[in-house]
Structure 1
């Protein structure tokens, strides 16, 4: 999935959702998306709802953008799987070892990545891997 938070990626997510429902085989990238979808059943109604999933929604008392939330999870899971950067996987493991659930640990990790990503988009600046790695390392120490 090369595009983030766009109609194209939403279309890809809808396709994965349909494949899950029909029990069709999934590619490695689609398996990652499917895993995120299964972790977030509260988003189920949004995958085939078109642009609605691209906008903030009130779900279980929280305002969340299903597409951005799921997209950040997919990014984090790919980083762990591909060890790119390898600190993502080691941070995840360290947080889990400290008693944080895997899902909440991933939220902490993708929160950092998302903050850096959106700061770079809004400010027109580059997103630096070293900054991300530094923040991941500090996350392990602060928990």
Structure 2
């Protein structure tokens, strides 16, 4: 799910949750987003009331408390696992699920690794080092 326009990207999240609340059919990506929002009740009020989101936009979310960044990392993990890219991430994910016994906890651990790798690559103006990313995930096991 790649979109450079934050407003358009945020709309995807709002639309997915609104469709969920109305029991409307979801696209595969909307189903992923809906599942993630279901696992995050703290974010549900935000996505349940898109009309009031303009008030929220004026708030500066800390990166670790930004619902869009957080959910975006979950979506990234879901896409990576679904495609098994980087190669080998799917079996690592399955092992983490067994270790933690909780999908959210396993994904949050992976997201910490992903966020660190993304920050490092951004600061060093490099592409994401998939090998280091997978090594970081392996250390969680």
Interval of TM-score (by shorter of Structure 1 and Structure 2): 0.7 to 0.9
Alpha-carbon spacing, 1:135–1:27, altered in 2? closer, same or farther (3 Å) = same
| Alignment RMSD | 2.4
CA contact (8 A) 1:120 1:127 kept: yes
Question: Unpaired segments of 5 or more residues in structure 1?
Answer: 58-62
More strand by share: 1
Gap change, CA 1:85 and 1:125, over 3 Å in 2: closer
Q: Number of matched residues? A: 135
What TM-score results when the alignment is normalised by the length of structure 1? 0.80
Mapped partners of 1:89, 1:51: distance in 2: 39
Q: Structure 1 residues 74 and 4, CA, compared in 2 at 3 Å: closer, same or farther?
A: farther
Match in the other structure for 1:76 = 77
Q: TM-score, normalised on structure 2?
A: 0.81
Aligned mates of 2:65, 2:86 — CA distance in 1: 27
Query: Which blocks of at least 5 consecutive residues in structure 2 are unaligned?
Result: none
Partner of 1:52: 56
